Chains A and B, each alone.
Chain A
């Protein structure tokens, strides 16, 4: 028994340590305004619910977030949910008639866990969903949300499978095909004669989706394609070497920033210096602690967001995110933030109240999102609009990393 006691004490110690050293938790810290009654103010309470566009939006809406908070992909989920939380706090601090309660649930980037997380949020009476962060989870959750008529806006699940056949599902990020096309267009405009190598992760829906679209456009210029999986993402020296031997002078990396970091390092170590072209998942590469920015010198990132932008919105968001998480936000965080604000704007445009049913809110918001005169400008783009298929229209911004900051070419 003594040993068990000792074990417990040791665990307790580790917790204490963890609590001291850990970054403050972004997950599900409820907004301070959450105590406000969910019922709409009395004067608008009697407004007929069947005419949503007529009334004024009010009440405390419950927004649920789903993303990986533990496991391999936790860095993306925590960022996206952290960004959403900042937007919720800002909106609540405005003290307007529309208030939000936000709760994020962990799905470990696994589809069935995401469905459990979704149902947990439904028990919490979620009215609008921000999620899921990863594509695989989002496909599974989207079909649930479609059946339950819960309006959903995902910050980062970029596959077309997410929105296919579901009118309630919208994306804040580029779709994979658009991203692949944009990359191909950029490369063929700026490096018309280039030989291109692609290194992508072939057990990841996001990476494969972009690569397929890219390949369809560029198949003639591609001299080498190398892949890796979650199990082989330790070492890329063979792929990098093969790209070099194939004479590629542009290397397209439709992958996240963490494996990209290793690829850049290994290319440098064998003296291979092509132009690396990344996708939005590459954003965040500069924010890694201890990253040597010279490695990424000249790398092209197709990202909708740059933490080094100097506009007021970005500056204020970056400082708030840094305060909460001790690091610069990446595009996942920015997309999460934009999701909440886009929903906020749409709620006001639709004039929905929090006491309406999910179906009513969902239909009203769909009508707003797909209407011609609704557009949203935020951290990740100006004048974004949404198609009836749920796809966002915004321009991909290309940045070249110069001296450790994003510079527009």
Chain B
């Protein structure tokens, strides 16, 4: 037995190397070549998609600015009890002056001020105003500092200030996520925001609800259109297709602004209704700057994303099935509901996912026609990115939104099945 296998030896390739090895080598070369071919795409996706998303996820918990700007203070504050209601001792003030002298030199103290101002109103000006005077102190000779620092700005004589610094000192924080769900980080642990500042949960709910309504109205409107497109003679359906695609090629802003002209109280729709006598002049319809405006405009803008997948699925449904059903005595309704509709579901699924995911992140249209009741969570994200510069909170909101979309996707997969989606 041993002899036999030794005699047979490993199978050799023409050049004398074992066949297994030579096969593996050539396979590896092939794989490498394939990898090289997809490398541009992979790298592109990596750098333009995965890295930014990862860095956004990271931003929502990143908080090293406090430790980096005030390293000695943060350390000295460890031994101070923030719930005691008393001011920290001289050691903390001494460390604080040392940190501030360096920070003022690097001009990072005001940056920290804006960061802490998200948590406690007034911190921004406290750091800005104190900066100049504290930068001039000499940590070695000018001490003790407690009284001097409080003299520079009375805010440093408030235990709450130090509690805020200590509470927000960890380099990794859950503070932004707490803020994103209308809560906040306090020395006593997580607490809900005061009632008059709670808005984000409401906006999340509204975003989901309105996206669902928009998806549903897209289905209702797109289904008959796609059916016509798929069943009419080619020449007519091509014309119809152009009508579907024309708005699709028009700028989003132009379409949204056009809706403004249509929907406003002195707009085309209201003027027509008043002229026809259907609506009294002093009781014109309010169909813009509210939820209705957002739903109408977004349904119109997202409609092609529903029509196109539906149409391409419906095109593949053989007409002979419905003819067969009818020949066996089914009514029109039964034929549609039992034969045609089930076959068109993959198109509805694909369109719904597309429309819903696009809708949930929409920003421009709700901003222009949404007024106050028709805006989405994305409008808040945009505000925190470009106006308040609270990127941590914006990242936390974005992360939650991403999580919600993934969750819904999973639910959809469980209920409808993701295999049951076709784009054609």
Q: State yes or no: do A and B come from one complex.
A: no
